[in-house]
């Protein structure tokens, strides 16, 4: 029976349990729900929970555990000369066996008889059924494949029986518990509470998953390349690894990528901070409610546009525009119409990213500026200061910690931004200071290293995880520091 | 600010009896400051306009496609010269259909079939997609062979671009992809109405193709749809459950504090990191297939959860305590209070947050690149386990194509994506307006 069918049956049992349980409770209460501790629906739910939860739990455990058990027992039965081979060879042999096993399920009985254990015939027969084999199967493999099929079949059968039995038994057990004084509601609510706790711990699991997965892969990378060469290397030249070559020598220096990331982020902040901040100040302090109600959503539209759209905009509009502009300027000044701004450059990527960041800066700062107490404003204006003087001398200093926090959060967005830089910043990893030349970032290299054919053992792909954990650490630090500043600031007025 | 004179020190003595407190200068500074604000605000809005305008002006033409409607003669000589289709059905699949279309077009143009050079140029007017179009027609109805049918064929991508005026025809002939002769033919056909622009349904239904005129976002739309469904089905219940626990039940202790800090941080983790997580955990560890929308959906779920949790908690917080007190006072249990009274009242806020989270997930590209959704998929995925692409990933792949016609396609796909986002966001705003309650 397929897993989904089992799940469906268990669900049906649960549903039936609900109906029967609810009826039974009314019956034991003599038809009056006022005689019962809980309302009939809770008795029904109690039965349904007992019918479904343990059964699904067992099903899940079985699904995870049985393939591991079967594969280890098949591998344990390998002939000694195969066992003497390397781990990878054994893995290949096991892969063959699973293919054969899958193929034998497709073949009819007489076909299996006809083919027997003749390896060449078997291979062609399986090939005709759409199950290609990598090599000629050896006799022990055919036997093992037979065993594999038997074990899988037995395991499925046992699983079906066990799960359905547990479901039925659970329902029966819960059904027998039903009595007028039985506290069904409290039991059901306890189950709901547990599921709420499980749901909220998924957040923790995600973080743990991020850190663990990246740490393990990064550690594997650091067995190929020493950590200090990665963190302090100044050359990024990963060399493409041919499959199976075991990782040719490449140089994995983080410094050029990190500099590119910080430089582009800096240029982006150079555009975003003044524009965002002045927009926020204008909207909070000067604009009439009408202007504000139009301008604020318009700016927030900028935040809703997917970054791939910004990337395309940079690639097809801003980049060529800056390139042509520079060649015209150059022509006007020197008479030589060659461009000094590349189409893909730090400036292009930084500028477009800056536009993307404007709404983050402005809406965060807007909230913080409007949170400054009215009294401070009135005091300053009452003493004769103009509005701009009030803003510069009173409001901004009061709001400064919050604004710094907002800017740090924005900076962490700039560091982690991917699609704009992938399309607009270029791929050349180098250390230089000219904003008109292309540079590359950590995120670009993660994408570059992980698109295309993957081999999960070469440092060329594993380096992406080392880059990822670096990125994660940087943004995490920025965010925690920003949260810390914002929280500290908040305490001043409350 | 150094130019503002402080009222205590450095006040110059006025000559005319009134003290000059620099009011003119200060008002000028005030005006300047205000102008900076207006300039900044307009800069942002102007760039929004430029961005949208550049996309729309490049992309609106993608919704029209140049087609050529001609009587196509299904000549038996070309399709099946040896008359072996009865014995060998393969013959119909491998027949040279582009020649069928080319010869018919040559006839319409009055070009002799024997003029080798010209007939090649005629063939280049048509898309290579006519091969499958005519083949499917013939295979579906072999009796069509030998007859002449009026059929609308796709024009080649370059002709499409030229007809839409996107190719600069003043460039020397050898430097552009359409020759003068082809342009003459094109205009000749356009005058008689044979060659005309039609609404482009292909961009909505076709899969990936290396020929821009036959490429569409059909597969990507299905992939994105699967992913959005998975995100909705997983992240809404989990997010709501987590928020209910944190907002209503959680005791204030180290553990719940940890969860809270965690969720705030997860909301700020770069999206590409989620892609790495998905690659390492779902693809590598659990062995789920690469390029599958299931994996994409799971990754986007993890990414959207913090957004939904934060929105849901805000919505739950906004329900006044009096509601809870009243329900509890009438004897409801805490669970009943929350599920029967608080949650329904918070639902509009929760749904608004969910829609905004979904819109965000719909436009997300970077994590999907890492789990292998950058794939050339021409067939519709039938289950979430089949390889597929997503709308933003399709945009990314097209943005990397060099041909001019792909720029138009890319912008067209962006317009489709933005339309979806606008619909979702407007829906969220309407929902909020309609059901928002002020307590």
Q: What pLDDT was estimated at residue A267?
A: 95
Residue A137 · residue A119 · CB < 8 Å: yes
**Residue A163: pLDDT band with limits 50, 70, 90:** very high
pLDDT at A245: 46
Q: What is the pLDDT of residue A361?
A: 93
Q: Would the pLDDT of A248 be above 70?
A: no
- What tokens does B430 get? 């309407």
| Chain A to chain B Cβ contacts (< 8 Å) | 253
Contacts 24+ apart (CB under 8 A), B260-265: B261/A483, B262/A203, B262/A204, B262/A207, B263/A203, B263/B306, B263/B309, B263/B310, B264/A479, B264/A483, B264/B306, B264/B310, B265/A207, B265/A476, B265/A479, B265/A480
Nearest to A203 among B250, B305, B395 (CB): B305
- The neighbouring-strand residues paired with B199 are B64
Q: How far is A262 from chain B (nearest CA, A)?
A: 15
| Confidence at residue B1, expressed as pLDDT on a 0 to 100 scale | 43
Give the pLDDT confidence score for residue A247 in this predicted structure.
45
Place of tokens 């536009």: A355
Name which of A278, A416, A422 is nearest B40 (Cβ-Cβ). A278
Average pLDDT over residues A380-391: 92
pLDDT at B9 over 60: no
CA distance B381 to chain A (A): 20
Contact B211, B132 (CB under 8 A): no
Handedness of CA B115, B116, B118, B121 (dihedral sign): positive
- State residue A417's pLDDT score: 92
Classify the C-alpha dihedral B40-B44-B45-B47 as positive or negative.
positive
User: What are the residue ranges spanned by the domains of chain B?
Assistant: 64-205, 218-435
A175 pLDDT more than 70: yes
Using alpha carbons, list the distances in angstroms from residue B110 to B182, B184, B185, B265: 13, 13, 10, 70
User: With an 8 Å Cβ cutoff, is B35 touching chain A?
Assistant: no
Q: With an 8 Å Cβ cutoff, are B276 and A468 in contact?
A: yes
Which 409-438 residues of chain B touch chain A by CB within 8 A?
410-411, 414, 417-418, 421, 425
Structure tokens at B32: 């300047």
Partners of B148 in the beta sheet?
A: B73
- When pLDDT is averaged across residues A131-143 and rounded to a whole number, the result is 72
pLDDT at position A430 is 85
Question: What's the average model confidence in pLDDT over B1-20?
Answer: 54
Q: Chain B closest CA to A53's CA: distance in Å?
A: 17
Stated length of chain A: 494
Beta bridge partners of B73: B148
Residue A209 contacts B, CB cutoff 8 Å: yes
Q: Which fold has domain A236-490?
A: MetI-like fold (1.10.3720)
Q: Domain coordinates of chain A in residue numbers? A: 3-181, 236-490
Pick the CATH number of B218-435 from 1.10.3720.10, 3.30.70.100, 3.40.640.10, 2.10.77.10: 1.10.3720.10
Sign of the Cα torsion B288, B289, B290, B291 reads negative
pLDDT digits (tens, 9 = 90+) for B298-334: 999 999 999 999 999 999 999 999 999 999 999 999 9
- State the DSSP H helix or E strand holding residue B69, giving kind and residue range, or none if neither: strand B64-73
**Cβ-based burial of B296 (10 A; exposed 0-12, middle 13-18, buried ≥19):** buried
pLDDT of residue A244: 46
Query: Can you tell me the distance from the alpha carbon of B55 to that of B60, in angstroms, rounded to the nearest whole number?
Result: 8
pLDDT above 70 (res A177):
yes
Average pLDDT over chain A, rounded to whole?
Answer: 86
ipTM of the prediction: 0.87
Q: Is A476 on the interface with B (CB under 8 A)?
A: yes
pLDDT attached to residue A246: 46
Chain Cα centroid distance, residue B387: 18
Q: Tell me the chain B residues in contact with residue A355 when contact means C-beta distances shorter than 8 Å.
A: 44, 47, 51
A110 pLDDT band, cuts 50/70/90, is low
Q: How far away is chain A from the Cα of B204, in angstroms, using its nearest Cα?
A: 19
What is the pLDDT averaged over residues A101-109? 73
The span from the CA of A275 to the CA of A281, in Å, is: 10
N residues, chain B? 439
Q: Could A200 and B272 be called an inter-chain contact, meaning their C-beta atoms sit closer than 8 Å? A: no
Residue in A283, A310, A451 closest to B374 by CB: A451
Average pLDDT over residues A452-468: 80
A279 and B CB contact within 8 Å:
yes
For the residues B84-104, what does the mean pLDDT come to?
A: 78
For the residues of B243-273, what is the DSSP string, one character each? HHIIIII--SSHHHHHHHHHHHHHTTS-HHH
Nearest Cα neighbor of A346 from A410, A269, A254, A450 is A269
**B424 φ/ψ angles, rounded to the nearest 5 degrees:** -65, -45
B367: burial class by Cβ within 10 Å (0-12, 13-18, 19+)? buried
**Mean pLDDT of all residues belonging to chain B:** 86
Among A211-215, A384-388, B198-202, the minimum mean pLDDT is found in B198-202
Q: What is the pLDDT of residue A454?
A: 63
Beta strand B64-73 with B195-199 is: antiparallel
At residue A453, the pLDDT reads: 63
Q: Where are the beta strands (DSSP E) in A136-211?
A: none
Q: What is the DSSP letter of B72?
A: E
Q: With 80 as the cut, is the pLDDT of residue B77 above it?
A: no
Contact residues on chain A for B236, CB-CB shorter than 8 A: none
- What integer is the mean pLDDT of A340-352? 90
Is residue B356 within 8 Å of residue B307, measured between CB atoms? yes
Rounded to whole angstroms, what are the CA distances from A481 to A357, A412, B374? Answer: 19, 11, 36
pTM of the model: 0.86
Task: Report residue A243's pLDDT band, with 50, 70 and 90 as the boundaries.
Answer: very low
d(CA B145, CA A444): 54
Of B80-84, B94-98, B333-337, B396-400, which range is least confident?
A: B80-84
- Residue B266 is nearest to which of A207, A359, A471, comparing CB atoms? A207
Q: Using the predicted structure, report yes or no on whether residue B34 has a pLDDT greater than 90.
A: yes
Contact indicator for B275, B366 with CB cutoff of 8 Å = yes
Interchain pair A309, B279: CB under 8 A: no
Q: Cα(B200)–Cα(B189) distance, rounded to whole angstroms?
A: 19
Looking at residues A35-48, what average pLDDT do you find?
90
Q: Which range is least confidently modeled, A122-126, A468-472, B417-421? A: A122-126
Give the mean pLDDT of A59-73: 87
B128 has a pLDDT exceeding 90: no
């Amino acid at each position: 029976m397929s897993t989904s069918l089992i799940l469906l049956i268990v669900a049906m049992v649960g549903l039936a349990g609900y109906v029967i349980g609810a009826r039974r409770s009314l019956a034991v209460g003599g038809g009056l729900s006022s005689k019962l501790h809980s309302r009939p629906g809770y008795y029904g739910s109690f039965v349904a929970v007992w019918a479904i939860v343990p059964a699904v739990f067992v099903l899940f455990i079985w699904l995870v555990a049985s393939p591991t058990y079967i594969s280890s027992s098949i591998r344990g039965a390998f002939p000694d000369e195969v066992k003497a081979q390397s781990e990878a060879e054994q893995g290949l042999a096991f892969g063959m066996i699973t293919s054969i096993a899958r193929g034998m399920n497709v073949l009819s009985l007489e076909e299996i008889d006809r083919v027997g254990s003749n390896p060449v015939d078997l291979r062609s027969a399986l090939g005709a059924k759409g199950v290609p084999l990598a090599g000629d199967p050896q006799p022990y493999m055919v036997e093992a494949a037979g065993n594999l099929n038997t074990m899988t079949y037995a395991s499925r059968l046992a699983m079906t029986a066990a799960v359905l039995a547990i479901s039925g038994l659970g329902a029966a057990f819960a059904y027998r518990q039903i009595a007028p004084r039985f506290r069904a509601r409290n039991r059901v609510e306890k189950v709901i509470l547990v599921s709420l706790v499980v749901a909220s711990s998924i957040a923790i699991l995600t973080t743990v998953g991020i850190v663990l997965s990246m740490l393990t892969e990064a550690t594997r990378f650091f067995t190929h390349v020493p950590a200090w060469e990665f963190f302090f290397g100044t050359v990024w030249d990963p060399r493409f690894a041919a499959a199976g070559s075991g990782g040719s020598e490449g140089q994995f220096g983080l410094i050029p990528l990190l500099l590119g990331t910080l430089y582009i982020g800096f240029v982006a902040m150079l555009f975003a901070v003044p524009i965002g901040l002045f927009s926020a100040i204008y909207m909070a302090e000067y604009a009439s409610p009408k202007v504000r109600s139009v301008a604020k959503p318009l700016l927030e539209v900028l935040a809703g546009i997917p970054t791939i759209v910004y990337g395309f905009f940079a690639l097809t509009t801003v980049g060529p525009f800056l390139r042509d502009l520079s060649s015209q300027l150059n022509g006007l000044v020197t008479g030589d119409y060659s461009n000094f701004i590349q189409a893909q450059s730090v400036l292009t990527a930084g500028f477009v990213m800056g536009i993307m960041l404007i709404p983050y800066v402005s809406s965060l700062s807007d909230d913080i500026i409007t949170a400054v107490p009215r009294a401070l404003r009135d005091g300053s204006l009452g003493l004769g200061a103009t509005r701009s003087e009030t803003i510069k001398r009173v409001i901004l200093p009061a709001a400064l910690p919050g604004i710094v926090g907002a800017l740090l959060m924005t900076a962490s967005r700039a560091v982690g931004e991917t699609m704009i830089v992938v399309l607009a910043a270029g791929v050349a990893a180098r250390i230089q200071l000219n904003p008109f030349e292309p540079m590359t970032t950590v995120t670009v290299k993660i994408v570059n290293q992980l698109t295309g054919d993957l081999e999960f053992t070469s440092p060329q792909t594993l380096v992406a995880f080392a880059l990822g954990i670096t990125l994660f650490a940087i943004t995490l630090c920025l965010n925690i520091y920003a949260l810390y500043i914002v929280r500290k600031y908040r305490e001043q007025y409350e | 600010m150094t130019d503002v004179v402080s009222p205590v020190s450095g006040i110059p003595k006025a000559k005319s009896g009134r003290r000059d407190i620099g009011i003119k200068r200060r008002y000028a500074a005030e005006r300047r400051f205000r102008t900076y604000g207006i300039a900044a605000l307009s800069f942002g809005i102007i760039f929004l306009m430029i961005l949208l305008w550049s996309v729309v002006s490049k992309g609106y033409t993608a919704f029209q496609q140049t087609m050529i409607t001609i009587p196509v003669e299904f000549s038996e000589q070309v399709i099946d010269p040896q008359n072996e289709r009865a014995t060998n059905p393969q013959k119909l699949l491998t027949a040279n259909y582009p020649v069928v279309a080319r010869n018919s077009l040559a006839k319409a143009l009055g070009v002799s079939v024997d003029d080798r050079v010209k007939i090649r140029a005629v063939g280049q007017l048509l898309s290579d997609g006519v091969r499958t179009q005519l083949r499917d027609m013939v295979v579906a109805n072999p009796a069509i062979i030998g007859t002449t049918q009026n059929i609308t064929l796709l024009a080649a991508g370059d002709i499409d671009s030229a007809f839409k005026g996107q190719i600069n025809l003043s460039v020397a002939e050898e430097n552009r992809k359409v020759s003068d002769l082809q342009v003459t033919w094109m205009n000749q056909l356009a005058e008689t109405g044979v060659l005309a622009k039609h609404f482009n349904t292909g961009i909505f239904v076709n899969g990936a193709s290396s020929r821009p005129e036959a490429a569409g976002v059909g597969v990507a739309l299905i992939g994105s749809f699967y992913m959005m469904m998975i995100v909705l089905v997983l992240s809404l219940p989990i997010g709501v459950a987590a928020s209910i626990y944190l907002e209503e039940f959680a005791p204030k202790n180290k553990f719940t504090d940890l969860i809270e800090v965690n969720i705030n941080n997860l909301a700020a983790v770069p999206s590409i990191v989620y892609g790495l997580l998905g690659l390492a955990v779902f693809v590598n560890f659990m062995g789920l297939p690469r390029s599958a929308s299931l994996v994409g959906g799971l990754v986007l779920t993890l990414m959207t959860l913090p957004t939904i949790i934060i929105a849901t908690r805000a919505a739950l917080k906004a329900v006044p305590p009096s509601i809870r007190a009243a329900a509890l006072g009438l004897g409801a249990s805490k669970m009943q209070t929350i599920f029967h009274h608080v949650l329904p009242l918070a639902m509009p806020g929760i749904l608004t947050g969910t829609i905004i989270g979904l819109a965000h997930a719909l436009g997300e590209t970077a994590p999907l690149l890492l789990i292998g959704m950058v794939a050339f998929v021409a067939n519709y995925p039938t289950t979430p386990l089949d390889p597929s692409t997503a709308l933003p990933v399709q945009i990314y792949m097209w943005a990397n194509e060099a041909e001019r016609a792909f720029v138009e396609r890319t912008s067209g796909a962006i317009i489709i994506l933005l339309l979806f986002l606008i619909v979702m966001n407007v829906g969220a705003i309407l929902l909020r307006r309609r059901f928002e309650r002020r307590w």
